[in-house]
Amino acid sequence: MGRRKLGFWQWVAVVLVKPVLTVWTRRTWRGMEHLRQDGPVIIVPNHISHADPLVCAHFVYDAGRWPQFLGKASVFKVPVLGRILHWCRQIPVERGTVDAVKSLDALVAALNEGGAVIIYPEGTISREPDLWPMKGKTGAARLALATGAPVVPVAMWGPERIFDPRTTRINLRPRIPVTVVAGPPIDLSRWAGATPTRQVLEEMTDVIMLRLRDTLAEIRGGTPPPLWQRPTRSQTDRQRPEKTV
């Protein structure tokens, strides 16, 4: 969906948000040619800050596509706000419920309409101490397998200077440097037509996350660490100090 086909509320969002970001950030955009102008695409960014969805949306919009994010279904039930999100073509997602399958159907429908769907494969802001990517969840892989849409990695560095999740400090000064780089679509052809077993989805997800990590390393420099693994519940319990009586 190109920017010329935007509806009223989409234009309102652009008019309100883009001028603020234009002043707030000093942007380096690269790889926009990998976000094709027409047809479905799954965009997988790294997640380093509460500010990075705005930066990612700005990048995708400047590349000529309308960004369609996933949002908690409960937000879409808020009066007025929920309707505006629908009108802006954002996608409600049910998490941890039997309705989660409906969320996949909504994503498939958006891609069938030629949308540019943005999925954070980590599912949350990175917990890695230096904000390198973590092991991903399988939603993007499942969607790629169901639709065959290309998966494009989009690596960002700089939004953490706007809002650093490690310190929860917001920086309001103008012209904060942000860099966003889109890489070529990830080659997932070896799994085309495969049954979406846990092993298949995890293998695809690891390939996606490693490409995203390596694209981020092109921005940051240096050697990236292995994908950070979330501690299991048992590991977390072992790290807690024992209670004494």
Q: List, for the chain, all residue ranges whose pLDDT scores fall below the cut of 50.
A: 1-3, 236, 239-245
Q: What's the pLDDT at 100?
A: 60
Task: Select from 43, 48, 47, 46 the least CA-distant residue to 214.
Answer: 46
What is the pTM for the complete model shown? 0.89
Query: What pLDDT score was predicted for residue 243?
Result: 43
Q: What is the pLDDT of residue 106?
A: 86
DSSP helix/strand/coil, 45? strand
Give me the CATH topology for the region 3-224.
Glycerol-3-phosphate (1)-acyltransferase (3.40.1130)
Contact indicator for 90, 106 with CB cutoff of 8 Å: no
Burial 136-167 (b: 16+ CB within 10 A, else e): bbbbbbbbbbebebbbbbbbbbbbbbbbbbee
Give which of 15, 28, 76 is closest to 220, Cα–Cα.
28
Q: Is 38 exposed, middle or buried (0-12, 13-18, 19+ CB in 10 A)?
A: exposed
The DSSP annotation for 142-188 comes to HHHHHH---EEEEEEESHHHHEETTTTEE---S-EEEEEEEPPPP--
Gap between the terminal Cα atoms of the chain: 63
List strand residue ranges (DSSP E) for the chain, in order. 25-30, 41-45, 67-72, 91-93, 116-118, 151-157, 163-164, 169-170, 176-182
Phi, psi for residue 210 in degrees, rounded to 5: -70, -40
Q: Give the list of residues 6+ apart from residue 35 with CB closer than 8 angstroms, or none.
A: 41, 43, 60, 63, 64, 65, 116, 152, 182
